[in-house]
């Protein structure tokens, strides 16, 4: 990966799972990181682990004012913004008949509206500084359908195509926009799916590992892909969708 030394980044959903692994890897590669999460205490704990320059921010990424303040605070503290990782996400395991309107709206707000809002406020800061990189977390279910996950599949499909649209619009401003699509990854969110479906957790995880590499992903597997796309190693990569799923889609 290209060095991230001196880069200034925000990671949403940074208090746990893929977001935490990404924030920690960015910091290890030399970036200054703003860790944003609805769980402010968790965000602060991850920021502390990332080093003295990191910031922990309590943010509801579905709310415009919170997103604006987060971008402004990080840009002011670090002197600009180079990298935005739109990673915050939730899942509701239900088909369209079972899904309530409130559940649908919340999944779409956290998974899609947040990408729009954070990018809306971050891109002008990046452009003012000469450019930047945005990496959105999609899903394998943003590229194919999945059972009893209607709102999630819809939201991640939107993230994938929003990535392409943003890459077209902002490439001339030297802002690259890419998407990572993880397969099942061992996080609290994945384990919560077993509970939502009423399945035994170990059996659920064993089924999720049924893919060519014979395991579920680790947060670090996805973090490496995200940091690659944010780095100069991917300087000519934009509008791309990188599947990181142990061969599941194959």
Determine contact, residues 111/61, Cβ cutoff 8 Å.
no
Q: Active-site residue 152, yes or no?
A: yes
* Strand 83-86 versus strand 32-37 pairing type: unpaired
Going by C-alpha positions, the residue among 138, 140, 139 that lies closest to residue 249 is 140
Q: What are phi and psi of 99, to 5 degrees?
A: -80, 125
Q: For 12, how many CA atoms within 13 A lie in the half-sphere containing its CB?
A: 33
Cβ atoms within 10 A of the Cβ of 47, count? Answer: 24
Q: 213-229 burial by CB neighbour count: b if 16+ within 10 A, else e?
A: eeebbebebbbbbbbbb
Q: In angstroms, rounded to a whole number, what is the distance separating the alpha carbons of residues 230 and 203?
A: 35
Q: Which of 152, 162, 194, 243 is catalytic?
A: 152
| DSSP secondary structure, 167-211, as one string | HHHHGGGTEEEEEEEE-SBSSHHHHHHHHHHT--HHHHHHHHT-S
Query: Looking at the annotation, which residues are catalytic?
Result: 152
């Amino acid at each position: 990966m290209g060095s991230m030394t001196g880069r200034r980044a925000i990671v949403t959903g940074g208090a746990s799972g893929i977001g935490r692994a990404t924030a920690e890897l960015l910091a290890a590669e030399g970036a200054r990181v703003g860790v944003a999460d609805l769980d402010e205490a968790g965000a602060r704990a991850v920021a502390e682990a990332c080093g003295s320059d990191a910031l922990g921010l309590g943010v509801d990424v579905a709310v415009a004012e919170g997103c604006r303040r987060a971008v402004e605070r990080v840009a002011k503290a670090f002197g600009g913004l180079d990298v935005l990782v739109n990673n915050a996400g939730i899942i509701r395991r239900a088909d369209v008949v079972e899904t309530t309107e409130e559940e649908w709206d919340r999944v779409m707000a956290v998974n899609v509206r947040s990408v729009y809002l954070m990018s809306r406020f971050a891109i002008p800061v990046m452009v003012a500084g000469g450019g930047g990189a945005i990496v959105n977390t999609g899903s394998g279910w943003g590229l194919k359908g999945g059972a009893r996950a209607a709102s999630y599949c819809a939201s991640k499909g939107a993230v994938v195509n929003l990535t392409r649209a943003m890459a077209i619009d902002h490439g001339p401003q030297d802002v690259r926009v890419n998407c990572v699509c993880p397969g099942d990854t061992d996080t609290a969110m994945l384990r919560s799916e077993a509970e939502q479906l009423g399945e035994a957790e170990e059996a659920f995880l064993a089924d999720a590992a049924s893919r060519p590499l014979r395991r579920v992903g680790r947060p670090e597997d996805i973090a490496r892909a995200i940091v690659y796309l944010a780095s100069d190693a991917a300087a000519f990569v934009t509008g791309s969708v990188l599947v990181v799923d142990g061969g599941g889609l194959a």
